Amino acid sequence: MRNKKIILSLIGIIATGILLFILGNVLDTYKIRILNLCGIYIILGLSMNLINGFTGLFSLGHAGFMAIGAYTVAILTMSVPMKELNFFMKPMVPFLANLEWSFFPALIMAGLISALVGFLIGAPVLKLTDDYLAIATLGFSEIIRVVFINIQSITNGALGLKGIPSNTNLWWSWGTAVFTIIFIGLLMEGSYGKAFKAIREDEIAARSMGIDLFKHKVMSFTIGSFFAGVGGGLLAALLGTIDPTMFKFALTFNILLIVVLGGMGNIKGTVISAIVITIAMEALRFLDESINLGFMTIQGIPGMRMVIFSIILMLVVIFKKDGLLKSNLKDVRRNYAKNR
């Protein structure tokens, strides 16, 4: 059974690799960029699903952690002259201005700093229950953004950073995505994952079974923040420019959309919905912009795209209702009845 699973996973990875290699050679730059975004959104969707779907903590702070990751990668990988060019309003802190790391350590650092912040935030906030937690994490992500606007000598404030080396390619984004899938898959198979799910199903029951609620919640939150930071870092290196307005609540909303449509606590679903939604977001971009058909111009309506996506989200929520959270309890009960 286990061997079969490993072999299947290996085949899956190799197939993905071959597919990426072919697509990388066939597609044009714009489509490759979308493919990269798909990989990044898989990472982000899974990291939010770990916190919200698997552990049942309702966190809305993803944009904040992504901002931390994105800025870390940007600041660490940008070349020294580029930094001087960016920081014309206020010079950068000399310690950071002279740094120039390569991409991989910068990406790891992005994850680590994000995880550290997640740990520091999580330790006090995770004592709160569902909706308070949602609003507190949302608050923290807003605070992170406000701080980034104000510490001009580190982040260049509201002007943002331009000319970040575009290190993200298909191998980086999809490699990290595959790593994330495997990591979270293994995590959820192991005892930690079982504890996370137990907390989601019933906190009091989990506590009486000897599961340390606080420790596991903080752990899930910290791991989730790590991957959010890595995803943010990859995003920064894909886009080349970042500024604090990018990391508003709308970004968290996109990821939440992926998680809800893919199924809370469902890895496969998240991967599929990340790809579908990323492509749909790009494909429906025409709704916001006007299209020129040669003989006539169809006026686009800005905002229409997100109207559609919010309607989709609400329809899914209303029609799926209780099925939104993938609960294993039913399967377990059925198996128990069968084996008795």
Partner 1 sequence: MNILQHITNGISLGSLYALIAIGYTMVYGILRLINFAHGDIFMLGAYITYYGVLFTPIPWWIVFILAAVVTGIIGLLLEKLAYKPLRGSPRITILISAIGASFFLENLGIVVFGGRPKAFPTPDVFNKVINIRGVSTGLVTFIIPIVTVLLLIALTYFITKTKTGMAMRALSKDYETASLMGININRIISITFFIGSFLAAVGGIMWGIKFPQLMPLMGVMPGLKCFIAAVIGGIGNITGAVIGGFILGLGEILLVALLPGLTGYRDAFAFVLLILILLIKPTGLMGEKIAEKV
- Point out which residues bind partner 1 (CB under 8 A): 52, 56, 58, 60, 124-125, 127-128, 130-132, 134-136, 138-140, 142-143, 146-147, 149-150, 204, 249-250, 253, 256, 260, 264, 301-304, 306-307, 309-311, 313-314, 317-318, 321-322, 324-325
The angle subtended at Cα 252 by Cα 246 and Cα 253, nearest 5°, is 110
Q: Which is nearer to partner 1, 195 or 256 (CB)?
A: 256
Query: Which residues are within 8 A (CB) of 190 and not within 5 positions of it... i.e. 6 or more apart?
Result: none
Please report how close the Cβ of residue 225 comes to partner 1 at its closest, in angstroms: 17
Please report how close the Cβ of residue 70 comes to partner 1 at its closest, in angstroms: 19
Please report how close the Cβ of residue 207 comes to partner 1 at its closest, in angstroms: 11
* CA neighbours closer than 13 Å in the CB half-sphere of residue 14: 6
Q: Which is nearer to partner 1, 190 or 303 (CB)?
A: 303
Please report how close the Cβ of residue 149 comes to partner 1 at its closest, in angstroms: 6
Closest CA to 255 of 270, 236, 240: 270
Please report how close the Cβ of residue 151 comes to partner 1 at its closest, in angstroms: 10
Q: Which is nearer to partner 1, 13 or 128 (CB)?
A: 128
**Residue length of the chain:** 340
Distances (CA, A) of 337 to 26, 165, 197, 206, 340: 52, 58, 21, 22, 5
Q: Which is nearer to partner 1, 33 or 207 (CB)?
A: 207
Name the token pair of 73. Answer: 């990668």
Q: Which is nearer to partner 1, 204 or 337 (CB)?
A: 204
Identify the bridge partners of residue 297 per DSSP, sorted by sequence position: 292
In the block, residue with structure tokens 């795209």: 305
